[in-house]
Amino acid sequence: MACASSKLAPSAANLPVMQQRVPGITIERVQGGFALYKVKCAACHRLYAPSKYTLAEWNDILKKMFRKAKVTDASQQASIKDYVYALSK
């Protein structure tokens, strides 16, 4: 698990690539989203790598998964979105 989640951890070295997907995103913002992702999104299945899906695919998946994970808070949703979008396919 430690191994799997470290692979999913955002790295500052990738910030320029992440900013192509989410303009202006900071490393603190991506790390905050990752922390929340680990708390909210691993209860029913392993954590999926953000790079498995495109941004558009994530957009659809998250609509459904926020419901399942009972993430209703708009700022928490935005934080998780920014993390997966930044590291999407």
Q: How far is the CB of 21 from ligand HEC (least distance, A)?
A: 16
Sequence-separated (6 or more) residues with CB below 8 Å from residue 37: 8, 47, 80, 83, 84
- CB of 45: closest distance to ligand HEC in angstroms? 5
CA-derived radius of gyration, the chain: 12
Binding site for ligand HEC (CB under 6 A): 40-41, 43-45, 48, 61-62, 65-66, 68-69, 71, 80
- Minimal distance in Å, beta carbon 16 to ligand HEC? 24
